[in-house]
Amino acid sequence: MSNPFEALNQRLENIESLLLELKNKPIEEEKTENLTVKETAQLLKVSEQSVHNYIKRGFISAQKVGRILLINRTDLDDALTQVKSLKYKRA
């Protein structure tokens, strides 16, 4: 009969190696995907018309490919982190 501690030791070494692999694995690749207006609207939980308005006002940058507007994911994330000051007009 084999020593039960040897089996436990082997399993612990396997767990340790798996944990080291996870630790050294890069957290997330750079997001280079392009989103359509519909996907952006679902991500932001707004209507597609709102996304079109954001693009028209310059809050979100988009590129037109044929008839489709594509929004770069990193540009969208950057636009969401920027805080634009609002200028109020006096009446």
Residue 76 lies in a domain: yes
Residue 39 lies in a domain: yes
| Mean pLDDT along residues 64-73 | 93
Q: Which domain holds residue 57?
A: 34-81
Residue 38 lies in a domain: yes
Residue 65 lies in a domain: yes
Residue 78 structure tokens: 């950057």
Q: Residue 71 in 3-state DSSP?
A: strand
**Counted domains in the chain:** 1
pLDDT of residue 54: 92
Average pLDDT, whole number, for the chain? 84
Residue 50 lies in a domain: yes
Residue 1 lies in a domain: no
Q: How many CB atoms lie within 10 A of CB 83?
A: 6
Residue 90 lies in a domain: no
Summarize pLDDT for 23-55 with one digit per residue, the tens.
887 766 555 689 999 999 999 999 999 999 999
pLDDT of residue 27: 65
pLDDT of residue 40: 94
Buried b (16+ CB within 10 A) or exposed e, 6-19: eeeeeeeeeeeeee
pTM: 0.57
The answer to whether 31 touches 74, Cβ cutoff 8 Å, is: yes
Residue 59 lies in a domain: yes
Distances (CA, A) of 83 to 10, 61, 78, 80, 91: 53, 15, 10, 8, 25
CATH of the domain at 62: 1.10.10.10
